[in-house]
Amino acid sequence: EHPSGILSSRAERAHSTMMNADMDAVEAENRVELEEKTRLINQVLELQHTLEDLSARVDAVKEENLKLKSENQVLGQYIENLMSASSVFQTTDTKSKRK
């Protein structure tokens, strides 16, 4: 065998080994990027579900709040009517006016 042929063969093997190492590094980097993207996508989806749950909860609380406000108005009006119809409260009002 000719010495230049041996060197050429070694150079090709070294070059091939370096290319394989570069490709492995690129594949590893791509795998890490893909894992990071997957993690971020899952995190975004989880946050979206949390936001949907919170929005539904806010809507339910708003609805309950409106219902309670309405009930409070009815009860307030009922109490006012009872107080105005009761002689106990009218007497108290008269006494407090005299003081």
pLDDT in tens, 63-94: 999 999 999 999 999 999 998 988 877 655 55
- In angstroms, the CA 84 to CA 96 distance is 16
pTM for this structure? 0.52
What is the mean pLDDT of the segment spanning 48-69? 98
Question: Residue 3: pLDDT above 60?
Answer: no
Distance CA 46, CA 52 (A): 10
The residue that leads in pLDDT, 37 or 5, is: 37
Per-residue confidence at 54, pLDDT binned at 50, 70, 90?
very high
Residues 6+ positions from 89 with CB-CB distance below 8 Å: 83
